[in-house]
Amino acid sequence: MVQEQGFTGHGRGFFKAFLIEAALYLGIGSYAVMAQGASPLRVVSISLLVFVSLRFLMTLGNWLPTWKNRSPKLAEHEIGCTATVAMLLREWWAAILTYPFLFAFEPWLVPNNPPSGLPHKGLPIVLVPGFFTNRGYLYAWRKYLLRNGYGQVYCVSPEPIFAGVEPNAEHLARFVDEVLQDTGAERVILIGHSMGGLVIRLYLHRFGGLAKSALAIAVGSPLNGTVLAEGKENMGPIIQQLTSGNAWAAALTAEAEAQPCPIPFITLVSPHDSIVAPQSNARVAAHYGREITLPGVGHMEMVNSTQVMRVLKQELDAFNRD
């Protein structure tokens, strides 16, 4: 069995934030009820409104700069006003689920190891979440795959958070070795969301991952950075490596895409990605890998999108048939 990470630093931070936020709502609400005579129902309603409004502002704060710096779209990828509003609402719902619930309850929602005794098709699967997230983020992916015949789904949380992409790739390399030892398999299938896809690509090309991987799928991954990282470089080296068009990402892309990827590399790209912008930064050269375009899917929504999960299953099923 792979050694459990338990609470990562990220998870502990969000669990504390969850407790603090809940305590604030409870404290202010109790004061309003007991000292000000407010109706308990009114206090609860206002607390819920504040809770969801904060997540909406965060969603809007991500969407506005990525919309401003959006890539040109093909005519068939335009979705119209109604579908855009629906996408933003789904992105908002994903933010409500994520901040703080999926992050704060990481070790209970998503262990590193899969349940024992479930049927499994093909090679073991490793799920890799992105920057400033943990494996709790991929709760829906794991649950969906486990229910659809893929019982050997392992999940790893990125660590360390701010030190750089390389330490995260090293951490993934150690985790994959543990999975191979645990299962007796010679290779794994890697699926990453957001920066998780970038970590996978770095692992493949600079940390020996090509010899231990059979398929890689990057979902909404800033392979060439994103404008959302600009102006935040003092947060650590990893932010510098996630800035749109940075020299480090450009060098990795040139190295990796100098020839076709030796294993199948698939990217799921949304022309409406609300974190990765320009959205073309999630693409790879046609000779290197294969791209699947998913119009109308937001970035945070990807981790609980039925459309995304169906595509992942289709690709896994097709790979196992070949």
User: Given this model, what pLDDT does residue 29 score?
Assistant: 87
CA separation for the pair 199, 178 (Å, rounded): 17
Closest CA to 195 of 229, 223, 166: 223
Closest CA to 193 of 291, 127, 288: 127
User: Given this model, what pLDDT does residue 232 score?
Assistant: 85
**In Å, how far are 49, 118, 189, 217, 316 from 312, measured between CA atoms?**
35, 19, 11, 8, 6
pLDDT(280) > 90: yes
User: Given this model, what pLDDT does residue 127 score?
Assistant: 98
β-bridge mates for residue 45, sequence order: none
β-bridge mates for residue 268, sequence order: 219, 292
Q: Tell me which of 232 and 200 has the higher pLDDT.
A: 200
pLDDT(126) > 90: yes
- Domain harbouring 316, CATH code: 3.40.50.1820
pLDDT(33) > 90: no
Domain count within the chain: 1
Per the structure, the complete domain to which residue 94 belongs is given by 1-322
Q: pLDDT of 260-271, one tens digit each?
A: 999 999 999 999
* Torsion over CA: 59, 62, 65, 67 (sign): negative
Q: pLDDT of 208-257, one tens digit each?
A: 999 999 999 999 999 999 999 998 888 889 999 999 999 999 999 999 99
User: Given this model, what pLDDT does residue 270 score?
Assistant: 98
87 token code pair: 């996408």
Q: pLDDT of 55-113, one tens digit each?
A: 999 999 999 999 999 999 999 999 999 999 999 999 999 999 998 899 999 999 999 99
User: Given this model, what pLDDT does residue 38 score?
Assistant: 82
Asked if residues 66 and 274 have their Cβ atoms less than 8 Å apart, the reply is: yes
User: Given this model, what pLDDT does residue 147 score?
Assistant: 97
pLDDT(322) > 90: no
Q: pLDDT of 290-301, one tens digit each?
A: 999 999 999 999
User: Given this model, what pLDDT does residue 120 score?
Assistant: 95
Calculate mean pLDDT across residues 178-199: 98
The pLDDT-based confidence of 204 (bands split at 50, 70, 90) is very high
